[in-house]
Chain A
């Protein structure tokens, strides 16, 4: 083995240009692959981070402005959901399909005050499931629980941003204190994070409390529930169609009016996103593999030239006693050495490039509305993927070297000696 490496080292040393060219092809291939996958991962992480957080596995139904005149009503009528819609949703016909039904009230804007500080807030009566539906992340305290609703407790959950306004010195300490909203006082039971959320003014209070204080009617702002049964996009569309037709009939909305009833389906959003992710990932791998192929073609090309160039030398080696297997071994070992060494260099540089991306481009953020999105989040490639890609290139490089090597090993010594 040591002899073989010595032999390879001496050939590589004397064929510097060729070695450099082959090495460049390999390094470049791996470098591009890793940089590409890193950027792709960063993009997907950013996408997942900013979008996936707001997609929950449930369906939310709200009333909306109609877009078509129907049954004597003009277009542009605002539909208001009420208890009857709640009963319809909880009805016998949806048994086994719809479950975990919850609802919210409309919102009331108030000014919250505490010890002379004040901040605007939008009180909304919700149920404990609401936290998961809109993906609120608690930074301290707790969210509403069933007892809060049962006992109509005067409790409120604030955002960390609001807490900062009301208690600038120690925002966390606001939990447990009473804040005043007009003529009513609420005890703060928890704070939700505003860093990753697009809510800042929302102040959830128990549904029953809200109804008792602000809105004694049976109006409902939104109804949320989980469904079991529909799996594919088509099945979900069909379910939405059938479900909303019942509501449209109740509220006298044109059956073909796409508005009037607004349905936010987290399941289909998720399916769509999974599909988009899969497409991005597939596209990345296709690009990556094409890049790798160009590297492999580079290696095999140079191996082919190498073998042609060295035919005479192989003839000499054969004449003085080199067996075909030894010629084969020499070329393949050389090919592996080049691809492995330069592949490693390419891999290393690729990883460095990913780190540089992480430190530069990934720190840039774009603000859309109230959301701040980093274009790339953690744009790196796992060491396992990097090693696999390098290994793949080494194997491919070996195979690429094997064909010309096999040809060289089979050339008769007299023919090889005649070659220039």
Chain B
């Protein structure tokens, strides 16, 4: 089991306590391509933050690849994030004053990988995502789809256990959205990378093999979606 959540509780206390996750149990196997769906306020972002070790939880246990992720120091958390998790964000979160290739190699910088090796690997991943000619361009010179592909390359470069994608198509038009989802699907199928996509769009979730519904801080229905027929509306948007 790659991911194992048991009785996860999380309460935010901003003046008034807000119980966001009320005992989440979830298991995700290696190589799975799943989506977490829910309305805003359902707790899906909180769950993603906990999965991504960006936030801690109050109760329960979270095992990632057999390691208990609990009460980590900032330093340990940073190290685990660096080695085990690749993030893809809705707003890309590329560093604007760095070129595409510099953005992609940044996680390796924090691993202490040498400059030459880093550059080589980053170029490999950019090539894999068809971005070789954009390597020395800055994010503001690229389209949304290109930026998201740079972000995906950055997520892949450390060869993480899982890719966490938070609304990866949220800022993209429908055509580009399809392309990005196809890319994630290909990475899952060809390289066996475990991918978890958080979305509120049925069309996006339908591209994944399993849809986990979250509602009011609890896991609801878990749909097997091998046939990609869960969504009856337009394919996307």
Contact = CB atoms under 8 A, between A and B. Distances in A.
B82 A320 contact: yes
A412 B93 contact: no
Given A10-B97, A323-B78, A325-B75, A414 B110 contact: no
Contact of A3 (B75, B109, B154): B109
Interface in A311-369: 312-313, 315-326
B115 interface: yes
Contacts of B33: none
A-side interface mostly: helix
Interface stretch (B48-56, B128-136, B199-207, B214-222): B48-56
Contact of B54 (A7, A10, A413): A413
A11 interface: yes
A14 interface: yes
A108 interface: no
A417 interface: yes
Given A326-B110, A417-B93, A321 B82 contact: yes
Given A15-B97, A325-B75, A413-B54, A320 B106 contact: yes
Contact of B78 (A13, A316, A321): A321
A315 B93 CA distance: 9
Interface residues of A, number: 28
Contacts of B107: 320-321
Given A325-B75, A417-B93, A320 B54 contact: no
Interface in A6-26: 6-7, 10-11, 13-15
B67 interface: no
B-side interface mostly: helix
Given A10-B102, A316-B95, A412-B55, A321 B75 contact: no
Given A324-B74, A325-B75, A319 B97 contact: no
Contacts of B79: 321, 323
Given A326-B110, A412-B55, A413-B54, A321 B81 contact: yes
A11 B55 contact: no
14 contacts: A3-B109, A6-B115, A10-B97, A316-B94, A317-B95, A317-B106, A317-B110, A318-B81, A319-B54, A321-B107, A323-B78, A410-B74, A414-B49, A414-B55
Given A316-B93, A323-B78, A412-B55, 14 more contacts: A11-B97, A316-B94, A317-B106, A318-B81, A320-B87, A320-B110, A321-B81, A321-B158, A410-B74, A414-B49, A414-B54, A414-B55, A417-B54, A417-B93
